[in-house]
Chains A and B, each alone.
Chain A
Amino acid sequence: MPIVLYRVDDRLVHGQVVIGWGKPLNLGFIVLLDDTVYGSDWERDLYRMGTPPEIELRFSDLAEAARQHAAWRAEPANGIVLTADVATMAALRQAAPPVERINLGGIHHKPGRTPRLPYVYLSEEEYRSLEALQQTGTVVTAQDLPTTQPVLLEALR
């Protein structure tokens, strides 16, 4: 499975992703799945600045991701799909399954969210959405770095 990580992280491309996960996973590409970033030349340029040259950064909106997901999974290089929020990852899973595992890597405070871990804040709606994904076959865990222990979704209740 060349998509080796499906990660929800509102920082999108940053050090934990390109270094913390990127090195041990021997990443060849990152798919940044975000409708806003996809439509903004300015934001795309900024994210390119933060990506090392050995990792290919691709931008996608949900419609493109639904079309390309199977092809990404069939590539020989290892890849990550990154979304900034739970809703976008859930939408990908709905539009173009399968997504076997979801990694919650960084979801920070916003009104309506409560702390579940120092790096994971969730609203009740987000939690229920993740619970529904898990009940239908996607394993959801929180883990900021590969060197830390994954935390099961049930522990974030």
Chain B
Amino acid sequence: MSDGLRGVVVAHGALAPALVQEAERISGLTGILRAVTNEGGGREEIERRIAEAVAAEPSVVFVDMPCGSCFFAAMHLARQTEGVRVVTGVNLPMLLDFLNNRTLPPDEVAARAAVKGTDAIRKP
């Protein structure tokens, strides 16, 4: 683990590992993002998985949707863990921005990622 924030991607089914794999493939930066799936887990189990991935380190947790177990588990953990921020609507542009700016403070990194992710949604 190099210096900077951890990134944890939390999503339905196989989405999280796929996003992590492709973000690593594009950026060439590995070992920074961790994937957490909701598969077979309720809210408490997903929160346990996220906590394990965060490992009490300053982190940004990227969640696929702003509702449901993944979201609630992430928000609950962030509420009680210092230095953990949550961003919803995860997509590749926000993960790539995170990977390249993760030495900034958590609030700033999370805010940037949300802007980048939103900016990537266009109708050309």
- Say if A and B assemble together: yes
Q: Please determine whether B41 and A50 come into contact, CB atoms closer than 8 angstroms.
A: no
Q: Count A-B contacts at CB 8 Å.
A: 45
Q: Please determine whether B65 and A15 come into contact, CB atoms closer than 8 angstroms.
A: yes
A109 touches B (CB below 8 Å): yes
Cβ-neighbour of B43 out of A11, A50, A118 (below 8 A): A11
Q: Considering the chains assembled together, what is the distance between the CA atoms of A84 and B40 in angstroms?
A: 17
Q: How large is the interface on B (under 10, 10 to 19, 20 to 34, 35 or more residues)?
A: 10 to 19
A window 22-51: CB within 8 A of B: 42, 46-47, 49-51
B105 touches A (CB below 8 Å): no
Q: How large is the interface on A (under 10, 10 to 19, 20 to 34, 35 or more residues)?
A: 10 to 19
Taking CB atoms, residues of chain B closer than 8 Å to A126 are none
Q: Could you mark each residue 62-103 of chain B with 1 if its beta carbon is under 8 Å from any beta carbon of chain A, else 0?
A: 000111110110010001000000000000000000000000
A8 touches B (CB below 8 Å): no
Interface residues of A (CB under 8 A from B): 10-11, 13-15, 18, 42, 46-47, 49-51, 108-110, 118
Interface residues of B (CB under 8 A from A): 40-45, 65-69, 71-72, 75, 79
